[in-house]
Amino acid sequence: MLKYLGKRIARSFLTLIIILTAVFCLLRLMPIEGYFQNFDKMTPQQIQVGLKEMGLTDPLPVQVIRFFKDLLQGDLGVSRIYRSNVPVSDILKDKVPVSVKLGVWSMALSLLVGLPMGALMARYKYRWFDKIGTLFIVCIQAVPAAVYFLYIQLYGTKLMGVGLLFQINDPKYWVLPVLSMSLGNIAFYGMWLRRYMVDESNKDYVKLAKAKGMSEGGVMFKHIFRNAFVPLAQYIPTAFLNTVIGSIYIESLYSIPGMGGLLVTVIKKHDNTMVQGIVLLYACVGVLGLLLGDLLMVLLDPRISLGKKEGDR
């Protein structure tokens, strides 16, 4: 187990370094206007002096090394336009809790609804519940998310009597964003859990359990569900972390002061340092999610080899 864990952490760390380096280099190709608040009023000499003070005239390898040194100390730079001369980390620490709260509730709703829905669809295959669940999944998968997000906002705000301006301390204002963010994951968990459970139900151990007199419901939920959940479990940490850092569209649609809406704002304002800090956070979350997914799958299924190459992904 320790050998497998060390190998996965080392691989994830290397992947993260490559991603961070690539993001840093690509953002250096952005227009330099994003580093100055009054770029239009500055002379070429002032621009050059400002770039030199920020270290942006140094060779790219030197900038990359300095970036990683600052990153190890928790320094993501300072915002130049969004909030002039305010550290990026100070801005993010005010936004992250909002996205975390929204993401946790959305993920909880997705699991509480999606997993039972998939299990019941597999249990009552081709019956009315399975048909209704399939219709829901098809609608969510086929219709662009932006379309039903807008319909939920349009009719939901009227139904619940809430305004378009988000009130962070009013629980009613959280209902529609949480519901909107959870629909995609509900359909995902329901669809794949049903598929995995149907595949498992045709295997020999299921036939043997039924031949021994175990009820169909007992076999379905005590054996089939447990084995079918293993391949699905590896996606849960990634989905959870991606949900926690916020939905760009949802947070912008409801004016939620979280990470997703912030990214849209700083891109519009061309604040390169802020864009870099947020994108790096997203990259870290993605790599961490993949690592946790692999480890969770191994913990749930002891049949997966920890020391052989076929145990890796």
pLDDT > 90? residue 132:
yes
Q: Which two three-digit tokens encode residue 144?
A: 């662009």
Q: What average pLDDT does this structure show over 100-106?
A: 86
Q: What average pLDDT does this structure show over 50-71?
A: 86
Instruction: Give 241's pLDDT tier (boundaries 50, 70, 90).
Output: low
Q: Give dist(CA 251, CA 261) in Å, integer.
A: 5
Q: Give dist(CA 259, CA 100) in Å, integer.
A: 9
Q: Give dist(CA 241, CA 284) in Å, integer.
A: 10
pLDDT > 90? residue 138:
yes
Residues 133 and 147 in one domain: yes
Q: Give dist(CA 245, CA 236) in Å, integer.
A: 14
Q: Give dist(CA 105, CA 92) in Å, integer.
A: 20
Q: Which two three-digit tokens encode residue 63?
A: 């900038």
User: What is the residue-wise DSSP string for 141-154?
Assistant: HHS-HHHHHHHHHH
Residues 75 and 99 in one domain: no
Residues 198 and 287 in one domain: yes
**Domain boundary pick from 88, 116, 144:** 88
Residues 13 and 143 in one domain: no
Q: What average pLDDT does this structure show over 67-82?
A: 85
Residues 81 and 202 in one domain: no
Instruction: Give 246's pLDDT tier (boundaries 50, 70, 90).
Output: low
Residues 170 and 245 in one domain: yes
Residues 142 and 289 in one domain: yes
**Domain boundary pick from 88, 120, 135:** 88
Greatest alpha-carbon pair distance for the chain in Å reads 86
What is the tens place of the pLDDT at every residue in 263-303?
Answer: 888 888 878 888 888 888 887 877 887 777 777 777 766 66
pLDDT of residue 8: 78
Structural domain for 164, as ranges: 94-311
Residues 42 and 102 in one domain: no
DSSP single-letter state for residue 273? H
Q: Give dist(CA 281, CA 283) in Å, integer.
A: 5
b/e 247-280 (16+ beta carbons within 10 angstroms → b): bbbbbbbbebebbbbbbeebbebbbbbbbbbbbb
**Domain boundary pick from 65, 88, 111:** 88
Distances, alpha carbon 134 to alpha carbons 80, 152, 183, 185, in Å: 49, 20, 14, 14
The least confident of 82-96, 106-120, 179-193, 196-210 is 196-210
Three-class HEC string of 34-90: HHCCCHHHCCHHHHHHHHHHCCCCCCHHHHHHHHHHHHHCCCCCEECCCCCCEEHHH
Residues 220 and 245 in one domain: yes
CATH number at residue 177: 1.10.3720.10
pLDDT of residue 310: 44
pLDDT of residue 135: 94
Residue 256 makes CB contacts below 8 A (sequence gap 6+) with 98, 99, 102, 166, 168, 177, 246, 250
Whether the Cβ atoms of residue 258 and residue 98 lie closer than 8 Å to each other: yes
> Number of H helices and number of E strands within the chain?
14, 2
What is the tens place of the pLDDT at every residue in 142-159?
Answer: 988 888 888 898 888 888
- Per the structure, the count of domains in the chain is 2
pLDDT of residue 312: 46
Share of the chain above pLDDT 90, in %: 9
Residues 68 and 177 in one domain: no
Residues 146 and 98 in one domain: yes
Q: What average pLDDT does this structure show over 196-224?
A: 78
Whether the Cβ atoms of residue 270 and residue 31 lie closer than 8 Å to each other: yes
Helix axes 272-300, 259-269, angle to 10 degrees: 150
Residues 267 and 282 in one domain: yes
